[in-house]
Every structure is written in structure tokens, then in C-alpha cells.
Chains A and B, each alone.
Chain A
Amino acid sequence: MQRFSALSTRLAALLCSLAGLLILAGCSLNIEGKQSALDPKGPVAQNQYDIFIITLIVTVFLFITVGGALGWTMWKFRLRKGDDPRYIPPQTHGHPLIEIGLVAGSAALLVVIAIPTFGGILLKKNVPLHLVEDAIEVNVVGYQWWWAFEYPEHGFYTANEFVIPAGRAVKLNLRTRDVLHSFWVPKLAGKVDLIAGQTNFMWIKADEPGYFYGQCAEFCGDSHAYMLFRVIAKPEAEYRRWVRDQQRQTANLNPDTGPLYAPLLARDQWAYPEDKVLRGAEVFARACASCHSLNPASQTNGPNLAHFATRTTIAAGWMENEPDELFRWIREPDKVKPGNFMWTGFLRYNPETRTREVEMAGLDYYDLSDNEIEAVVAYLYTLR
């Protein structure tokens, strides 16, 4: 008997600790975080959020009723101090009406969820008619561990962040060049996977201009955690200007018209000394150009860098686009993003030797000096 007498204190302690947990959880409840699905900024995310709230209401209702019944039963029928532990309660075996009623009740609650669910499935798959007219199209291609974005209507590529017009729908065609990835910008839409051998479709729309965080959500190898990206929604006029800018060449790609890769940016806008920038162009041609295209209209094995200086982030959204960070990124890409091909070079498995062989050399091979890296940094900031 004695050992059950302290039950009520124990239950009270339990409830207190549970309440404490919830408060603790509440403290850390930062629903407007940069990548929060609880802060929708577009119609797809809004729809998904609304259905989430419906499921939340249904389950909280169930928690209160079922949990309430459970808690009350635990309290009411517990063995109390002074009770005869040998007492035998009535040996009831069940009641068909109660059971059928509960089954029917839970089925009814599920219908409440099922109906908007069907609407949500349809919405995610198809751009609504009133938005389809002026929708733009972007092809998304996942690589280990970065993103390529192609604007097929305008014929240019960019990488790891892309700009969309606020208020217009964006149709996304999702493909991958290697393993599976998943495209996820929580504030704009739930994720869709990039599956090898097929093209998946989704659409997003940002209601207002904004800066949105996205991240790969399907495990894709060593540096999965570093495969981030940004979606930048701009007002219509700014978007049009951005598209026009992106189509422009930023470096000389024709050996007949001057030194290869020489910046086309006016000299008075260079932030670094001229000799440094030009030496950077040479280093770029030697060590970088085999993977990184400077032609906005073409895509090679690495991110297109034609408009590198206009981007806000580097290393697939992991670092801010600042000279110090860029220096560190080029100096030790393997430390920043383990397994990264920028260091090892692009690897291809050879079934004969059972190892992966370097197909296209990386910076490990070129072994750039700090001076050379500084020159490349200076050069890259002229690409805008």
C-alpha cells in the first residue's frame, strides 16, 4: 500500500515537468525563423500551412478528449490509500455500441482532414488558371552539393540563388545530374525531390518581394548539410532588369578580341588593382575554367560564375559572399565542404581499379599560392 500512497504527488510532479517542457519548448518557439514553414509567403506554402493547422486542431481536439479520458481514468480508478488491493472490479469485456461509435467518430474526423488534403494535392501539381498566363519557367538541376538554375525562356544559367518576379507563378522543372536531392523553400512551398532519370514538376509564387532560404532536403552524401540556396523575389521592374543583366557577358570569351577572360566591367569600377585582377583572370583560365563557365548561356560541371559578383552567397549558400570568406573557400574547399569536387576534382568510378579516378582536376592538383588565390578573388568581384 505504502508505495502507492505517494502517487498523487508523483502525478503532480509529472504534470509540472510536462508543463515545464512545454514552456521550454515555447521559449524556443521561433516560428518566423529564416526557413520556417510556419511563416508562409506564397500560395502553395499558405495552403500547406492551412491544412497543417486543420490537422493541428483535429489532433489537439483528440488530445484533449482521448488524453482527457485517459488522464481521468488514471486518476479516478487508481488504487487509493486505504483501498483493498484484493478488491475485484466488475469483469466487463467491452461494449459494441461504444466501440462502433468511437470507430465512426474517428472516421468522421479523418474526413475533415481528407477533403482539404485532396485540394492541396491538386494545387501543388497544377498552376491555377489565373496564374498560368504570366508564369515564368526555371529549370532546377541538383549536383553534389550545389544547384544550377536555368532560365530557358531567356537562355542563361545561374547557380545557388535565383531571382523570381514577386506576384507571378514560377514553374520549376526539377532534375538531378547525380544522386537524389530535394528542392525545399519552406516559406514558398513544400519540397519535391529531384530524382535521377525523371523530371519532377512543382510551382512556387512569392506574394511579396523577399529573400527566401532554401535547402536540400534529401540526403545526398558527405556535404548534404551544405547544400543550401536562396530564392530572391523582386518587384517586376527589378526582375526584368536582373534578367537583362544576367544575359550580358561579363568576361571576354573570344581570344580574338583581347586576353581570354579579361573582365568587361569598366576599369573605374574595379575594386582591386589592375595587375591583380588580370593575374586573377590568368589563374582562372588555368585552374578554374575547366569546371566553371563564364558564359551565362552555358553550363559545365561546376556552378556558372558569369555574374558571380552579384550573388549574395558562396559555397551553395553556406557562406556570405565576402572577400575573406571567398579566400577561405578557394583556399580550403575540402575543409569547408568535405568531399567537395572543387578540391579533389571530378571523380569517376572505374570498375577495373575499384577506385574513383580524377576526371577533371581540382584545386588539390593546381595547388594555388595565397597570392594567386587573392588574385582570383579580386578577379571574381569584377564579374557583374
Chain B
Amino acid sequence: MATTADVENVTHAPAEPARTGLWKRPLKNTGLVGWLTTVDHKKIGILYAVGALFFLLLGGVEALIIRAQLMFPEQEVISARTYNQLFTMHGTTMIFLAVMPLSAAFFNYIMPLQIGARDVAFPRMNSLGLWCFIFGGIILNLSWFFPGGAPDVGWFAYAPLTDRQYSPDIGVDFWIMGLQILGIASLVGSFNFITTIINMRAPGLSMMRLPLFTWMTLITSFLVILAFPAITIALIQLMFDRHFGTFFFNVEGGGKPILWQHLFWIFGHPEVYILILPAMGIISEILPVFSRKPLFGYPLIVFSGAVIGFLGFAVWSHHMFTTGLGVIATTAFAFLTMLIAIPTGVKIFNWIGTMWGGRIRFTTPMLFSVGFIWMFMMGGFTGIMHSSPPVDAQQQDTYFVVAHFHYVLIGGSLFALFAGIYFWFPKVTGKMMSEFVGKIVFYVMFIGFNLAFFPMHILGMTGMPRRTHTYKSGMGWEQSNFWSTIGAMILGLGVALFVIQIIYTCFRGRRTNGDPWDARTLEWVTDSPPKEYNFAYTPVVHARDQLWENKHGPDSRKMERIAPGPHGIHMPDQSWWPLILAIGLFIACLGMVFHGEPAWWGEEARYGLGITICGLLITLGSIYGWALEGPGGFHLHPDPKEYDGALPAPESSHGHH
């Protein structure tokens, strides 16, 4: 903290824009330019959330079409090819474009506030992550508009189905490049969050005082930077197989298709925890607030989160129990998978312990949180079942697994993320979402969700495989499929109602004070919505639930405040470069997708590499522009009333000017 502050004080320009770059850094922080060039973690968080909710709706519509097709046996609502494209895009969209960015939205918006920081460590990199996410989503979905259409190989894209021999169309290329650019988004964001949490905590906020959500942000970010390189490598290999005639996964040239599965799942299983750990963090914030008690067993919850992170890298082959692994490998991965149930169970015990003896208010965020515990528990139980390879042999690739991971990802992740939205919405907008409507949304979603996914357990155990676009009548699957579709529609209705409620509340919501829930952590100390600089003063933390101690604790544990120095608060300048760099990557990726394809106008001419090189030149140029535009920055002087009664700034912050 101290060093960062010193560096800023030494190097930042006076309160005027830097002029060393190609062009001036933009100053306008409103309107379109304001949003496109923003480096403010709060605006970036909001853009992440809007993007993620858009893709959530898109993925949801895809799911509803899938369910419509399966409502009755031997239907032809859509073709087999379209169905395969839909489930591929549904999975990819929900994982990479809905749940991950929605988590990232919370990381961005809430985490810096929870640690009393003014922004993340690298504001422009944060912006780059956002734009890579947006362009990655665009690349993936552009595939629908080209001949051959979207990828139809599943979100797991098992070789050799992805080989040109079996998938000659460019859908797979869109998928490869889309995921590649989304990987950059996740990696950039994660390095940023780790640096921020380690270096920019408020004075006194030791690691074991961190709010649980911030802890889970940290662990998730480590998972991302360790897991994503595996898929990045796999995607590059696949790209070379498809474009340059290599044989990484092609048996005819001596390649091994099973290699893809190992690379994919050593990314893919940590990915599961990348999706669920933020949700657990959110729940661990909400339960204490509405139980009016601190988190039960805080150190154990932190520790079990870390253990889940570690073990998450040691269980990937449980996705491959049916691929003919040897007895030793199968047994080892089975037992490690069972082990992971223990830290997960610990979390559930501790959440119950948190509520135990409390005074529980069943507000909308609390209902979603409790709903999360129930549904996540159900998903956990089925997870215990297929941790056993003999049981898994019957369940793998059936609707039982579909039920399992939707219980974990909708009943788990999504319910928690919705809980987080209801909980922090007043923080972000200063407006309250209606409790009445919120509860209706919860019950509609809860009932729809269970009706949609509970019958799938039975479908799976009675033999219905996944990823089949239809099924024979007379197999005993009719009723479950029918009710599942009805449930999915009810769930869709709940989500639609939720989105309408958000839009309505943005415009017409009731204004609220800074702390409507009687919350416990630092983000609620400042205004709702927070000003650009988050905190007018530097908070000095003395306790884990600092806001709660401020309100109810002894004087010795109350927060102190340090006023800003005479030069005010140093703020980072906005920048065009992250957006331009992302556009460069976007063009490079598109060039790679079309590499070697005949031109649109049907001539023999091939293009692609040229476009890729142009895109990479833009990217490279942006990196130079980025580096050369200088640190920039300006000073803000908050109204002294905002830090009324704060301790004066220490001498060191005066010294440099």
C-alpha cells in the first residue's frame, strides 16, 4: 500500500491530461466516450454485468428452444444440426459469457470497495479484460451468421470430432478463437484482482480480516491463471490441426484424441470451481447480514475454499472415468474426488452454523441464498454419487449429469449471483429492488428450476443419454421430458421477470440510504452509489466485520479515517488503448477464423492471414500507444465534509510536492 502510494505521488502528472501519447487521454467521463474509455472499476463492473445478463438471456433462449424440441418424443421442431449447435452454444455461452462475467462484474465492483481501495491495481488492464470479454462473445455468436453456422461439437469439443474431416465448417474456428480471446479477458482480470487484493488493502485490513467474497475472488483468480493456460495450449494445438495440418489430435498422423480430453479437463474441472467459488463468497457475505451474526468458522471457510482450489486441479480425470483409464488412475481420481466433498460440506455446515442462533430476516437476497444452500446441497449429493466410477459408468453422459450440474450451476452459481444482485443493487444504483416482486421472482425460479431439473435425474437413471436431439417414444421418458420443459418455461418466466424488475428499478426504483440491509462489511461504509473515488478518506480497519463494529462494537474496534493530503485524491486517466487493443485482437482472431477459406465472392483467392497480421499490428501498436501515453492521472478534491473528523494525512504524503 505504502509503496504504491509513493510511486503514484512521485510519478503522476499534475491535474491535467498527459500529452506524451499519440493523442490526449480522453477526459469526458460521461456519455458514450465515457463508457468506452472508462477505467473506473465500478463502470467496468456495470458493463460486465449488462453484458453477462444479455448473454444469460441469449443462452436461456437457446435452452428453451432445446427444451421445446425435447418436450415430446420424435419431434422435429428444429433439425439435428441446429439442436447440436444450440447445446454447444448454450453451454459455451452460459459458462464463458454469462456466469463467469457476472462473477467478474462482482469482483470488479464489490471487491475494491470491500478492501477500501480507490480502484484496482491496473485500471487500464481492467478495461482490456472487459473489451476482450465483449469481443469474445461477439466472435462466438458471429458464427451463427456464416455458412455452416455455429459450432456443433459440444462445449467440450472432443477430438477427433473437431477435425476438418468431421467438422469442415468454420463454426469450430469461431469457437476456438472466441474462447482464446475470452481466455485473455479472464487472465488479464485475474492478475489484476490478485495484485489489487495483495497490495491495495486498506491499512489494518489483514488477510484474515478480508471479507469472504474478497477471499473467494483471490482464490478464483489463482484458479483462472493456473487453469486457463491448459485450454489456451489445447486451443492453439487444435487451431494448428485445423489450419496448418498438424496432427496433435489426429490418429492418422500419430496424434492422440485422448490428449485433448486431459488438456480440456485439467482446465475444465478448475473451471467448475471458478464458477462456484464466487457464488460461495457471495453467500458468505449475505448469510451473516440477514442472520445478524458473524460468519461461523471464518478461518475454516477460507481454508476449505483454498483446499477446494488445490484439489480442483487433482480431480480432472473424473470426467473421463469411461475412457478406459487404468485401475490405479481411476481409483486415485475417484478417491480425490470424494475428498473434495469434505471442504464443500464444511462450507455448508458453517453456513448453517452462521444462521444458527441468529435472527434471520428472509429478504429476497436471503431467500436466494438459502435456496442456493438447498440446491447446491442437492447438486453436491449427486456429485458424491458419480464420484464413484461404477456408479458414474451408468450416469456419465446421461441426463443425470445434466441434472447434477444444473443444480450446481443454476441452483448454485446463478441463485447466488442473483442473491448478490438483489443484495448489492442498492449499493450500485442507490435504489432498492422491490422485495415483493423479488420474492415472486425467487419462488417462480425456484419452482420452475426444480420442475425442470429434478425429473432429469430419473431420465438419466432410466437410460436417456445427453446431447441427443430426440428420443424414441415408448422408452419411458415422455412424462419427465414433458414436465421438464414446462419447468424450464417457468424458470424462463422468472428470469424474464427479474430482468424487467432490474430495468424498472433502474429508472423508477425507490431511493435508499447507504446501508439499507444493516450490513457488516466495508463496501457499505461509503455512499451508495459510491463516488468516483470510492472513499473520500483512507479507512483504517480494526476488525473483520468493520461496519458492524462501527455500529455495534466497542470503541477500540471502530474504524479510523485518514483525510486525503493537500493534493487531494489521485485518479487514473481514461484511455482509448484498451478498447483499440481488444479491437486488434478481434480482427486478428477473425482473420484466423477465415484463414484459408475461399473468399465470400467465391473466387479462388484465399485470405485470412493478412487480416490476422493487420489485427496483430493494431494490437502491437496499441501496446506501444498504451505504454507511451504515460501514467496520466489527475487529482480530485472531495468536499471536506465527507471526511469531517478524519485524522490528518501523514507527513509523507505532503513531501513530494
A residues neighboring B (CB under 8 Å) = 3-4, 7, 10, 13-14, 17-18, 21-22, 24-25, 27-38, 45, 47-49, 51-52, 55-56, 58-59, 62-63, 66-67, 69-70, 73-74, 77-79, 83, 85, 87-95, 98-99, 102-103, 106-107, 110, 113-114, 116-118, 120-125, 144, 174, 178-180, 182, 184, 186, 189-193, 195-198, 200-201, 213, 215-225, 228, 318, 338-339, 348-349, 351, 354-356
Which residues of B pack against A, CB within 8 Å? 79-81, 84, 152-154, 158, 160-161, 163-166, 168, 245, 251, 255-258, 291-300, 322-324, 327, 330-331, 334-335, 338-339, 341-342, 345-346, 348-350, 352-353, 355-362, 370, 373-374, 377-378, 381-382, 384-385, 387-398, 435-436, 439, 443, 446-447, 450-451, 454-455, 458, 461-472, 474-477, 479-480, 483, 552, 596-598
Q: Is the CB of A77 within 8 A of B454?
A: no
Nearest residue (CB) in A for B158 is: A180
Q: Nearest-CB distance from B295 to chain A (Å)?
A: 8
Q: Do A222 and B81 touch across chains, with their CB atoms under 8 A apart?
A: yes
Q: Which residues of B contact A191 (CB under 8 A)?
A: 322, 393-394, 396-397
For A180, what are the chain B residues with a Cβ–Cβ distance below 8 Å?
Answer: 158, 160-161, 257
Can you name 25 A-B pairs with beta carbons within 8 Å? A13-B443, A14-B446, A21-B451, A28-B455, A30-B462, A35-B463, A66-B345, A77-B360, A90-B293, A93-B294, A93-B296, A94-B299, A102-B346, A120-B388, A124-B393, A178-B160, A186-B394, A196-B251, A197-B255, A215-B463, A217-B465, A219-B397, A221-B166, A224-B467, A354-B168
**Are B461 and A222 in contact, CB atoms less than 8 angstroms apart?**
no
CA distance A87 to B357 in the complex (A): 12
Do residues A92 and B357 form an inter-chain contact, with CB atoms below 8 A? Answer: yes
* Cβ B350 vs Cβ A56 within 8 A: no
CA gap between A2 and B495 in the complex, in Å: 27
On whether the beta carbons of A34 and B389 are closer than 8 Å, the reply is: no
Establish whether residues B596 and A66, one from each chain, have CB atoms under 8 Å apart when the complex forms: no
Partner of A201, one of B324, B334, B357, B455: B324
Are B362 and A28 within 8 A (Cβ)?
no
Tell me the nearest residue of chain A to B245, going by C-beta.
A351
Q: Please, which residues of chain A bring their CB within 8 A of the CB of B345?
A: 66, 102-103, 106
Which residues of chain B have C-beta atoms less than 8 A from A74's C-beta? Answer: 355, 360, 370
Which residue of chain A is the closest to B290 with respect to CB atoms?
A: A79
Residues of A within 8 A of B358 (CB): 77, 89
> Across the interface, which residues of A come within 8 angstroms of B469, CB to CB?
224-225
In the bound complex, CA of A84 to CA of B471 (Å)? 57
Q: Kindly list chain B residues whose C-beta atoms are within 8 Å of the C-beta of A220.
A: 161
Q: How far is the CB of B551 from chain A (nearest CB, A)?
A: 10
Are the CB atoms of A91 and B385 closer together than 8 Å? no
Q: Which residue of A lies closest to B481 (CB)?
A: A28
Instruction: Considering the complex, give the chain B residue whose CB is closest to the CB of A104.
Output: B342
Q: Indicate if the CB atoms of A186 and B443 lie closer than 8 Å.
A: no
Residue among B345, B355, B462 with max Cβ neighbours from chain A (10 Å):
B462
Q: Are A219 and B158 neighbours in the complex by a CB distance under 8 Å?
A: yes
Nearest residue (CB) in B for A192 is B322
Q: When A24-B451, A223-B80 are in contact, do A36 and B463 touch as well, CB less than 8 Å? A: yes
Given contacts A24-B451, A25-B454, A63 and B381 within 8 Å (CB-CB):
yes
Residues of A within 8 Å of B454, CB to CB, are 21-22, 25
8 Å CB contact of B160 from A30, A117, A196: A196
A77 touches B168 (CB 8 A): no
The answer to whether B462 touches A38 (Cβ under 8 A) is yes
**Interchain CB contact (< 8 A) of B392 among A14, A190, A213:** A190
The listed residue (B153, B350, B352, B552) touching A88 by CB distance below 8 A is: B552
A66 near B348 with CB under 8 A, answer: yes
Roughly how many angstroms separate A122 CA and B348 CA in the complex, as a whole number?
33
Closest 5 CB pairs of A and B: A190-B393, A120-B390, A35-B463, A33-B476, A28-B479
Task: Say yes or no: B463 contacts A21, CB within 8 Å.
Answer: no
Assuming the contacts A77-B291, A88-B552, asked whether A37 and B465 have C-beta atoms less than 8 A apart, the reply is no
In the complex, A36→B462 CA distance in Å? 4
Q: A34-B475, A78-B360, A178-B165 are in contact. List 5 more A-B contacts (CB 8 A).
A: A31-B462, A192-B324, A225-B468, A225-B469, A349-B165
Contact A70 B391 (CB under 8 A): no
Write out the residue numbers on chain B whose beta carbons fall within 8 Å of the beta carbon of A89: 291-293, 357-359
The reply to whether B296 and A92 contact each other, CB–CB distance below 8 Å, is yes
Would A28 and B480 count as touching, CB distance under 8 A?
Answer: yes
Which B residues are CB-close (under 8 A) to A29? 458
Q: A116 CA to B346 CA in the complex, in Å?
A: 24
Residue of A nearest to B553 (CB): A91
Q: Is the CB of A63 within 8 A of B388?
A: no
Q: A79-B360, A110-B341, A182-B397 are in contact. Are A190 and B346 (CB under 8 A)?
A: no
Interface-centre pick from B166, B291, B299 (highest chain A CB count, 10 A)? B166
**What distance in Å separates the Cβ of B478 from its nearest Cβ neighbour in chain A?**
8
> Which residues of A have CB within 8 Å of B360?
73-74, 77-79
Minimum C-beta distance from A135 to chain B (A): 19
B297–A99 CB distance below 8 A:
yes
**B374 touching A56 by the CB < 8 A rule?**
no
Q: Quick one: closest A residue to B472, CB to CB?
A: A318
Picked from A120, A190, A222, the residue with its CB within 8 Å of the CB of B322 is A190
Q: Which residue of A lies closest to B166 (CB)?
A: A179
Partner of A31, one of B338, B355, B461, B475: B461
Q: Which residues does chain A contribute within 8 Å of B373, judged by CB atoms?
A: 70
Complex CA gap A89/B163 in Å reads 62
Contact of A225 among B80, B335, B377, B477 (CB under 8 A): B80
Q: B161 touching A219 by the CB < 8 A rule?
A: yes
CA distance A338 to B82 in the complex (A): 11
Complex interface: chain A residues within 8 A of B391 (CB)? 48, 51-52, 55, 117, 120
Cβ-closest chain A residue relative to B165:
A349
B552 in contact with A36 (CB, 8 Å) = no
Give A27 Cβ to nearest chain B Cβ, in Å.
7
For the complex formed, measure the closest distance between the CB of A280 and the CB atoms of chain B, giving whole angstroms. 29
A195–B466 Cα distance when bound, in Å, is: 18
Complex Cα–Cα for A28 and B385 (A)? 22
Chain B residue with Cβ nearest A218? B397
What distance in Å separates the Cβ of B379 from its nearest Cβ neighbour in chain A?
11
Instruction: Choose from A3, A56, A195 the contact partner of B323 (Cβ within 8 Å).
Output: A195
Residues of chain A contacted by B381 (CB below 8 angstroms): 59, 62-63
Give A191 to B395 CA distance when docked, in angstroms. Answer: 9
Cα separation A54 to B471 with both chains bound (whole Å): 30
State which of A99, A102, A198, A339 has its C-beta within 8 Å of the C-beta of B324. A198
Alpha-carbon gap, A216 to B463, bound state (A): 11
Known contacts A99-B349, A222-B80, A354-B168, A55 near B388 by CB under 8 Å = yes
Which of B81, B293, B324, B352 is A70 in contact with, Cβ under 8 Å? B352
Which A residues touch B359, using CB under 8 A?
77, 79, 83, 85, 87, 89
Asked whether A52 lies within 8 Å of B394 as measured between CB atoms, the reply is yes
How far is A59 from B299 in the complex, measured between Cα atoms in Å?
27
Q: Which A residue sits closest to B338, measured CB to CB?
A: A110
Find A94's partner among B298, B389, B468 (CB 8 Å cutoff). B298
Q: What residue of chain B has the Cβ atom nearest to residue A22's Cβ?
A: B454
Checking A24, A94, A225 against B471 with a beta-carbon cut-off of 8 angstroms, the contacting residue is A225
Q: Do A63 and B377 touch across chains, with their CB atoms under 8 A apart?
A: yes
**CA distance in complex: A63, B436 (Å):** 30
Chain B contacts of A215 at CB under 8 A?
463, 465, 468
**Least CB distance, A273 to chain B, in whole angstroms:** 34
A118 to B390, CA, bound (A): 9
Task: Find the B residue at minimum CB distance from A86.
Answer: B518
CA distance A221 to B436 in the complex (A): 47
Given the known A-B contacts A91-B293, A178-B160, are A117 and B390 also in contact in the complex, defined by CB atoms under 8 Å? yes
| Neighbouring A residues of B393 by C-beta, 8 Å | 48, 124, 189-192
Asked if A121 and B330 sit within 8 Å, CB to CB, the answer is yes
Q: Are B161 and A73 in contact (CB under 8 A)?
A: no
CB-CB under 8 A from A88, the residues of chain B are 292, 552
Chain B residues near A216: list those with CB within 8 A. Answer: 465
A30 — nearest CB in chain B belongs to which residue?
A: B476
| Residue of A45, A218, A349 with most chain B CB atoms under a 10 A cut-off | A218
Task: Contacts A125-B327, A223-B80 given; indicate if A213 touches B463 (C-beta within 8 A).
Answer: yes
